[in-house]
Amino acid sequence: MKKFIDLKWFSLSIILSCLSGLSLPFSTWSYSEIFALITGKSIPNTVRMIIVITVLQILLVIVEYLNNRVINRNVALFNQEVREYLMQTDFVKTGEKEISNRISFINNDLNLIEEKYFRQLFSLVSTVVKIVGIVTIALINSVVLTLVFVAFASLSSLIPSLFSKKTAKQSSNWSKSTGSYVTFMSDLLKNINTVLNYNVLSLFVKKGSKVIKNSVENKRERDDTIAKSDFYVDLLAYSLDFLPIGIGIIMVIQGHIALASFVAVQYSSAWIVNSFFSINSIRNQIAATKPMTAKLLSFKPLTTKQDEAPVKFKQLNMDNVTFGYQADSPVLNNVSLCVNKGDKILLTGKSGEGKSTLLKVLMGKLSPQKGRVLVNDQAVETQIFSEVQQSSQIFNETLRFNLTLGKQFDQKQIVAAAQQAGLTNYLQKHGLDTVIEENGHNLSGGERKRIELARAFLFQREILVVDEGTASLDPQTAEQIHNVFLNSPLTVIEIDHHISSTTMKKFTHHFDLENGKLVNIF
């Protein structure tokens, strides 16, 4: 967790938390001083001491305020670092099925880490200082009686360790069930029109009730375990609370300590016990976040590529490639394919034959178990591919951002790419700075595809990979989109099952994937 911490602000919080922890020892000391002033019967001393106590109390209030402000700053910096880190790790490399779980982690798990782990670290420091300060004051008055009080109070601190593993496991169960609930609600909200149209909302409510119950029950079980731990701590501590008091009274009666010292130790002891309770509670809360912090630290940084100059593509070769998700069940079996600059290649095949897998191997997203993929006769990764998939990759941002993805381009380049993709009318009507709604809801299907094509043109990626990119479009729009990229100088590799005879003629090669082999149609 150190890599998410700003050392300067974290150190300042530790210092202020230590100073804030002095408030309770100060209260104990000022309480004993009041008895000393009454015993001393000196008005000038009383006035001076009251002024000193008041000034110190005001300073401690200011310290507490500053401590809260600095802790808030630490939390903000922590959140910033964690969220930026997640964007650069395999956290973001996830399929649509896992998106809801990832969002749940951001909304729920990170909040728990912030409240139950990060903030509690500073509370722990402050509480330890409180205990040290109070115990010091108590020891000054009577070592023996203080040790008696501390010995009884310490017994309760052993209990949380007995429940820590169970608490961590139940927290993990709750985190998983919360993710399932988020996934369920995401599905329901996205498909609510279908649910209402078929009049099955009551069935979804029944199903959702089970999902909700699982989530709330897991949380209740975790909270019950924490409550049980706290109960045993309270039961043991309060059962033993009056035993050290009785010992102190006997010591006063026998003349071993003065009454004033006993009062100081007894006053301190109540806070000592309560402070141990606080430490126990903090330990429980920190233990409950272990599954979340472990999950956070499990995400690995992505390897970033240097921004390369556009590659002058000549030829791509797939040489006797074999690939399978399981070693004994190859999806691709000794497949060879040669793609030359300007080729327009159509891939067809039955569903599940491995066409999308073939594209991923070609693009270097999957490594073959046998054979190799060469670009310009070199087995190197090059930034030459752009993609158009069935589900459009559109951002809730301006049209300009959707084309440039935040990279700097000349205005003329952006406009030229948009025009090349057939966005001239849209551009004239809305401009580059119009905001695209989430998932491109204010765009037609054709406009979404044209934006992806314009993006490919702008980034000058020479190979366009289209995986069922026009499957969701009507025939007329699909034909228009095909005309855009098939009449461009791009090298095209497309998977499609619904190609018109007119469009078919524009492909230079057609291959059918069958039983792990490519069959040359033309």
User: pLDDT-based confidence at 67, cuts 50/70/90?
Assistant: very high
Q: Given a cut of 70, is residue 348 above it in pLDDT?
A: yes
Q: With pLDDT > 70 as the criterion, what percentage of the chain qualifies?
A: 94
**Does one domain contain both 224 and 372?**
no
**Does one domain contain both 137 and 93?**
yes
**Does one domain contain both 252 and 352?**
no
In a domain, residue 172? The reply is yes
**Does one domain contain both 274 and 374?**
no
**Does one domain contain both 351 and 270?**
no
42 burial class (0-12, 13-18, 19+ CB within 10 angstroms)? exposed
In a domain, residue 309? The reply is no
Q: What is the pLDDT of residue 122?
A: 92
User: pLDDT-based confidence at 57, cuts 50/70/90?
Assistant: very high
Contact (CB, 8 A) for 259 and 45 = no
Query: What is the sign of the dihedral through the CA atoms of 492, 495, 499 and 501?
Result: positive
Mean pLDDT, residues 436-460 taken together: 85
In a domain, residue 305? The reply is no
In a domain, residue 447? The reply is yes
In a domain, residue 310? The reply is no
User: pLDDT-based confidence at 290, cuts 50/70/90?
Assistant: confident
Q: What total of structural domains would you count in the chain? A: 2
Residue with tokens 């130790």: 265
- Please identify, among 265, 298, 331, the residue that sits at the C-terminal boundary of a domain: 298
**Does one domain contain both 99 and 188?**
yes
Question: Where residue 491 sits, what CATH number does that domain have?
Answer: 3.40.50.300
Count helices and strands in the chain by DSSP H and E runs: 20, 9
Residue with tokens 């979404």: 448
The more confidently predicted of residues 265 and 12 is 12
**Does one domain contain both 85 and 33?**
yes
Task: Quickly list H helices, 311-423.
Answer: 355-362, 399-404, 411-420
**Does one domain contain both 290 and 356?**
no
Question: Where residue 115 sits, what CATH number does that domain have?
Answer: 1.20.1560.10
User: pLDDT-based confidence at 157, cuts 50/70/90?
Assistant: low
Contact (CB, 8 A) for 287 and 168 = yes
Task: Quickly list H helices, 241-318.
Answer: 242-253, 259-288, 290-298
In a domain, residue 401? The reply is yes
Q: What is the pLDDT of residue 59?
A: 95
367-410 residue pLDDT tens: 888 888 888 877 656 678 888 877 778 888 888 888 888 888 89
Distance CA 169, CA 291 (A): 8
Characterize the bridge pairing of strands 491-495 and 344-348. Answer: parallel
**Does one domain contain both 403 and 436?**
yes
Report the 10 Å Cβ neighbour count for 400.
Answer: 16
**Does one domain contain both 220 and 286?**
yes
Report the 10 Å Cβ neighbour count for 410.
Answer: 8
**Does one domain contain both 150 and 235?**
yes
Q: Residue 352: left if φ>0, alpha if ψ -120 to 50, beta else—which one?
A: left
Report the 10 Å Cβ neighbour count for 403.
Answer: 25
Q: What is the pLDDT of residue 15?
A: 94
In a domain, residue 307? The reply is no
- Amino acid in the structure at residue 452: E
In a domain, residue 25? The reply is yes
**Does one domain contain both 231 and 114?**
yes
Distance CA 466, CA 385 (A): 10
295-306 residue pLDDT tens: 888 888 877 666
**pTM score:** 0.65
Per the structure, the complete domain to which residue 46 belongs is given by 2-298
